[in-house]
């Protein structure tokens, strides 16, 4: 589906076909989504876009900015954490969106309708005077900015997951915590794989390399770039926090095993010698003089108490109990 709009500082007009929009004054913005091969061909011919570029939008290529003589091609992806995890490749729900920025035209191409594109459309149509200079590169900035802003929601979710795990780890050595932790680590890995090339792609625009980005817009892309740097940094930090959480989990487990072994050792070291003593006087030898002593039984009980106390004191000194 293709929608063509021509926007000048005074008004915004929707057109039936691309050619009409281009002839109107102002910037031509073509929004294409869920396109047929015929529609793709139409756009390619009208703006001289390379087939390899439109192909990239429809396949799962990593975010990038590519400079062509007549336009700049920016490929980004929207992201949200998948509700139910299946395989590694699907952990992060992503939707690619291609921005073709020309001198006085902009084409946005996506497989499915992208929410931030629709939001930007409303901004441009409703508040035409709010835009400092309504040019193709500034409208593209509005979209890029909103995409990157939405990444912070993903990051917030990941932060909550990690802090939940960190709280659980102090309380339990349950193996489920480790499974959750591994899931977060995989999500962070997927998110990082999205952020790194996105940062690079926006960096090209922020440095103002392409001829289609004006000096006045560079500052705005630099602002988005700062956000991507912050996102990358926080993702790396959360990876380290996840590593630390795993270390604590393993230490807590070792600590627990140590405590368990101490308990067993203390019990066995106290009870086993006493059992030997009572076994001794359970022997059936005909000649065992102690057995006929009238105070033999209380003496043995007293001896057992002495043995127990000695062992208890020893372990107390060793900090076992």
Chain positions 49 to 88 lying near a copy of itself, rule: CB under 8 A, are: 50, 52, 56, 61-62, 64, 66, 87-88
Candidate residues 14, 103, 233, 305; the one interacting with a copy of itself per rule CB under 8 A: 233
Candidate residues 19, 20, 82, 271; the one interacting with a copy of itself per rule CB under 8 A: 271
* b (16+ CB within 10 A) / e for 292-318: eeeeeeeebeeebeeeeeebeeebeee
- Tokens describing residue 10: 């005074």
**Do the strands 105-110 and 27-33 form a parallel or antiparallel pair, or are they unpaired?**
parallel
Q: Does 248 bind a copy of itself (CB under 8 A)?
A: yes
Q: What is d(CA 259, CA 282) in angstroms, rounded to the nearest whole number? A: 34
Q: What is d(CA 293, CA 290) in angstroms, rounded to the nearest whole number? A: 5
Q: Does 151 bind a copy of itself (CB under 8 A)?
A: no
The least CB distance from residue 131 to Mg ion, in Å, is 42
Q: Does 253 bind a copy of itself (CB under 8 A)?
A: yes
| CA distance to 39, 62, 87, 233, 234, per residue, from 156 (Å) | 38, 23, 22, 14, 10
- Number of C-beta neighbours around residue 216 at 10 A: 12
Q: Does 258 bind a copy of itself (CB under 8 A)?
A: yes
The least CB distance from residue 178 to Mg ion, in Å, is 13
Stretch that binds a copy of itself, among 34-42, 76-84, 94-102, 265-273 (CB under 8 A): 265-273
Candidate residues 15, 22, 192, 239; the one interacting with Mg ion per rule CB under 5 A: 239
CB of 135 or CB of 187, closer to a copy of itself: 187
CA angle 95, 98, 103 (to 5 degrees): 160
Q: Does 164 bind a copy of itself (CB under 8 A)?
A: no
Candidate residues 19, 276, 309, 313; the one interacting with a copy of itself per rule CB under 8 A: 276
Q: Which of residues 277-296 bind a copy of itself (CB under 8 A)?
A: 278-288, 290-292, 294, 296
Q: Does 309 bind a copy of itself (CB under 8 A)?
A: no
Q: Which residue has the tokens 């807590």?
A: 252
Q: Does 142 bind a copy of itself (CB under 8 A)?
A: no
Q: Does 243 bind Mg ion (CB under 5 A)?
A: yes
Q: Does 240 bind Mg ion (CB under 5 A)?
A: yes
The least CB distance from residue 234 to Mg ion, in Å, is 14
Q: Which of 39, 82, 45 is nearest to 58 (CA)?
A: 39
Q: Does 87 bind Mg ion (CB under 5 A)?
A: no
Q: Does 262 bind a copy of itself (CB under 8 A)?
A: yes
Query: Three-class SS of residue 5?
Result: strand
Strands (E), 82-209: 92-101, 105-110
* b (16+ CB within 10 A) / e for 52-81: ebbebbeeeeebebbeeeebbbbbbbbbeb
Q: Does 131 bind a copy of itself (CB under 8 A)?
A: no
Q: Which residue has the tokens 């817009």?
A: 217
CB of 15 or CB of 246, closer to Mg ion: 246
Q: Does 127 bind a copy of itself (CB under 8 A)?
A: no
Q: Does 305 bind a copy of itself (CB under 8 A)?
A: no
């Amino acid at each position: 589906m293709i929608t063509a709009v021509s926007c000048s500082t005074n008004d915004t007009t929707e057109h039936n076909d691309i050619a009409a929009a281009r002839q109107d004054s102002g910037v031509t913005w073509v929004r294409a989504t869920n396109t047929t091969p015929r529609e793709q061909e139409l756009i390619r011919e009208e703006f001289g876009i390379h087939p390899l570029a439109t192909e990239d939008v429809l396949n799962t290529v990593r975010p990038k900015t590519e400079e062509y003589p007549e336009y700049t091609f920016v490929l980004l992806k929207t992201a949200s954490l998948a509700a139910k995890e299946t395989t590694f490749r699907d952990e992060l729900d992503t939707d690619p969106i291609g921005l073709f920025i020309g001198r006085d035209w902009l084409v946005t191409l996506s497989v499915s309708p992208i929410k931030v594109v629709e939001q930007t459309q409303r901004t441009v149509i409703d508040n035409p005077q709010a835009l400092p200079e309504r040019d193709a590169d500034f409208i593209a900035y509005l979209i890029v900015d909103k995409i990157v802003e939405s990444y912070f929601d993903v990051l917030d979710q990941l932060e909550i997951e990690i802090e939940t795990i960190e709280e659980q780890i102090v309380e339990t050595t349950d193996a489920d915590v480790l499974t959750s932790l591994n899931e977060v680590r995989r999500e962070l890995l997927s998110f990082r794989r999205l952020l790194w090339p996105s940062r690079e792609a926006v960096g090209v625009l922020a440095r103002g390399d392409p001829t289609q980005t004006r000096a006045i817009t560079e500052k705005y892309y630099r602002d988005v770039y700062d956000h991507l740097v912050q996102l990358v940094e926080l993702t790396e930090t959360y990876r380290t926090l996840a590593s630390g959480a795993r270390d604590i989990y393993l230490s807590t487990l070792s600590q627990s095993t140590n405590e368990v072994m101490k308990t067993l050792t203390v019990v066995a070291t106290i009870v086993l010698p006493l059992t030997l003593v009572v076994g001794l006087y359970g022997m059936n030898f005909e000649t065992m003089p102690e057995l006929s002593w009238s105070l033999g039984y209380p003496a043995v009980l007293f001896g057992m108490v002495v043995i127990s106390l000695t062992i208890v004191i020893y372990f107390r000194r060793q900090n076992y109990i």
